[in-house]
Amino acid sequence: MAEETKKAEQQEVESKENQSPKVAPSEQQQNPEEFLSNFNWHRYEEGIEEVEDDKLSEFEKLVEENFVETLNNEVVKGEVVNLTDQDAIIDINAKSEGVISLNEFRYNPDLKVGDKVDVLIDVREDEEGQLILSHRKARVIKAWERVNDAQADGTIVNGLVKCRTKGGMIVDVFGIEAFLPGSQIDVKPIRDYDAYVGKTMEFKVVKINHEFKNVVVSHKALIEADIEEQKKEIIGQLEKGQVLEGVVKNITSYGVFVDLGGVDGLIHITDLSWSRINHPNEVVELDQTLNVVILDFDEDKTRIQLGLKQLSKHPWEALNESLKEGDEVEGVVTVIADYGAFIEVEEGVEGLIHVSEMSWSTHLRSAQDFVKVGDKVKAKILTLDREERKMSLGIKQLTPDPWTDITSKYPVGSKHKGEVRNFTNFGVFVELEEGIDGLIYISDLSWTKKIKHPSEFCKVGDNLEVVVLELDVEGRKLSLGHKQTETNPWDKYATEFAVGTKHTAAITEMVDKGATIDFNEDVTAFIPTRHLEKEDGTKLGKGEEAEFIVIEFNKEFKRVVASHTSVYREEEQKIVKNAAKKAKEDQQKTTLGDANAELQALKDKMEGK
């Protein structure tokens, strides 16, 4: 092999000499190989043997013409001239032959003498003066050149899918590991990535990051152009209302994508079933073959809107013709809102039960207090509009209206027990039974306590005894009282603390324009400043105990006024006696008036008024 190379080199030199002007050949020109092989390099380097300048120039010219310049990062072709157990000897037409480890040819177990391979000068001369080459590095450089050219020209390349990785696959392209994103494998969603491992496929180089040496390829890009043309062709033949057969390609929360044979259409979740559904997988499954109807399509955006439920008759059209208002129906709760609940009485036919139609109670409550999704309930049809496809239902109508016999169950003056439902600033709402509520005004809660807000007296859920004070059947209103269940202690206090009565007590508090004393836990009397004067001219102070005479008593306003000065002054005593006499007369008139009123009421009742 070496002899053939030398012969070729000799022929090339002779050819060049033939083309140059005819000059008498020198010794070097006549036999360059012999001259180069016999040249004593050692004597020349040691300066023992001097070489004339013209001969040295001739020598350098011969070297330049016959040998490869071993530059770094330059890929050259070499020929395998010998194979050992560990290395391949490569002739690249340089000063010496190079060596490459056989490990770099593991991808090519059929390597043999005479094969041409790409190599890169790795080390010009090692410690032993050997030229070290690299086939692997040369392959990488060549591979990057081919990848760059493929991206620039849009050339299709072949690659081997090596393995799965996060988000996609690793593909071997020209010996470079490229990334194939999962979304770029096919136009259809991929369910089994492992099925592609080990396959050789065609790809398009879509992105190269030279800084990080990353290559991204796509198989999807090769077929998208064809698919777009196919889509336009198919869409051009579509018509609204046309029924086609398709295969379920993908299921999402908002709808189903159907493959119509090269073009996809979407069935929105609302077009899958006449009934309410929470997710499309309740109706269809992957790879299922369906008949669908075209609802709409956009030729420009190649979007197709499909329908499944439209292939069956609308449930309202199939609704029993004999069904009418007032009929009782049974259904399942499908949706609950604050204002009510939707009941599916037949597949695809729903009615609304407003929260106000769930109970005879007038309390503001939400539908969740009565029903929950999935419950089976009975209801009565209140309204039915087949044209508008609307139906309203009621639950409370299945039970008697508690207000029909309200006068006999809750007559005025009757006592009952009720549950506190809620408060207002002016009173408490008490429920006597489901649908029967009454209001206790804040002034009717207690005879003695001064209440600013009902929550100071009771809390929601408490049971209270009440008396029916007023009844308005037409307005469906009950006025209740709690304090009326007990005797008014101020009736007794009117006698016990009548004007002119004398009591012993201590000053409880000094207030503006006087002081206060507590006769008991209910009765607090006011002492004007001038009535605090003692017999010695001094005034009573906080905590001092003394005798007091009641000089004013008002049961309606729970007002009691007392005086210490009146105890020892005769003039004051006369005034108090006159006031006591007048109060007694007024009380007698009031009592007589109350009696006359009661007699008149009894007379009216007997006369049926």
Domain 328-398 classified CATH 2.40.50.140?
yes
Mean pLDDT is lowest, of 59-68, 229-238, 514-523, for 59-68
Residue 432 is inside which H or E element, if any?
strand 427-433
CB 176 within 8 A of CB 141: no
- Fold classification of 236-311 is OB fold (Dihydrolipoamide Acetyltransferase, E2P) (2.40.50)
Beta strand 264-268 pairing with 303-307 = parallel
pLDDT higher for 159 or 591? 159
**Contact assessment for residue 214 and residue 248, using Cβ atoms and an 8 Å cutoff:** no
pTM of the model: 0.43
CB contact set of 222 (below 8 Å; sequence gap of 6+): 156, 202, 203, 204
Q: Given a cut of 50, is residue 13 above it in pLDDT?
A: no
Q: Is the pLDDT of residue 62 over 60?
A: no
- 192-198 contacts at long range (C-beta below 8 A, 24 or more positions apart): 193/164, 193/169, 194/164, 196/161, 196/169, 197/161, 197/162, 197/163, 197/164, 197/169, 198/160, 198/161
Coil, strand or helix at 231: helix
- The CATH fold assigned to 154-223 is OB fold (Dihydrolipoamide Acetyltransferase, E2P) (2.40.50)
42-46, 215-219, 311-315, 573-577: least confident range:
42-46
Give the residues across from 132 on adjacent strands: 99, 123
Domain map of the chain by residue range?
2-66, 75-139, 154-223, 236-311, 328-398, 406-485, 489-591
* 340, 379 contact by CB (below 8 A): no
Which ranges in 249-314 belong to alpha helices (H)?
none
Q: Is 245 buried (19+), middle (13-18) or exposed (0-12) by CB count in 10 A? A: exposed
| In the chain, % of residues over pLDDT 90 | 13
pLDDT band at 490 (very low <50, low <70, confident <90, very high): confident
Amino acid at 39: F
pLDDT tens digits for 365-381? 788 888 888 899 999 99
Report whether pLDDT(196) > 80: yes
Nearest to residue 551, comparing CAs of 571, 537, 521? Answer: 571
- Beta 524-528 vs 376-385: how paired, if at all? unpaired
- pLDDT for 562: 92
Q: pLDDT at position 2, please?
A: 44
pLDDT in tens, 125-155: 655 556 777 777 777 777 788 888 888 887 8
Tens-place pLDDT, residues 286-320: 889 999 998 888 766 567 899 998 888 888 887 88
* pLDDT 10s digits, 456-468: 889 888 898 999 9
Instruction: Please state, as a whole number, how many other Cβ atoms lie within 10 Å of the Cβ of residue 78.
Output: 26
The residue to which tokens 């005004």 are assigned: 441
Contact 410, 471 (CB under 8 A): yes
Q: How far is CA 482 from CA 411, 435, 440, 472, 485, in A?
A: 16, 20, 7, 19, 6
What's domain 75-139's architecture?
Answer: Beta Barrel (2.40)
CATH superfamily placement of domain 489-591: Nucleic acid-binding proteins (2.40.50.140)
Q: Report in angstroms the alpha-carbon separations of 244 from 293, 295, 303, 309.
A: 6, 11, 15, 14
For residue 429, give every residue at least 6 positions away whose Cβ sits within 8 Å of its Cβ, in sequence order, or none: 363, 420, 421, 422, 423, 437, 438, 439
How much is the mean pLDDT over the chain?
79
Least confident of 18-22, 203-207, 506-510: 18-22
Q: For residue 70, what pLDDT is reported?
A: 46
Dihedral sign for Cα 221, 222, 225, 229, please: negative
Q: Fold for 406-485, please state it.
A: OB fold (Dihydrolipoamide Acetyltransferase, E2P) (2.40.50)
Residues 558-568: pLDDT tens digits? 889 999 888 88
The predicted pLDDT at position 34 comes to: 59
For CA atoms 415, 416, 418, 422, give the dihedral sign.
negative
Would you call 49 helix, strand, or coil by DSSP? coil
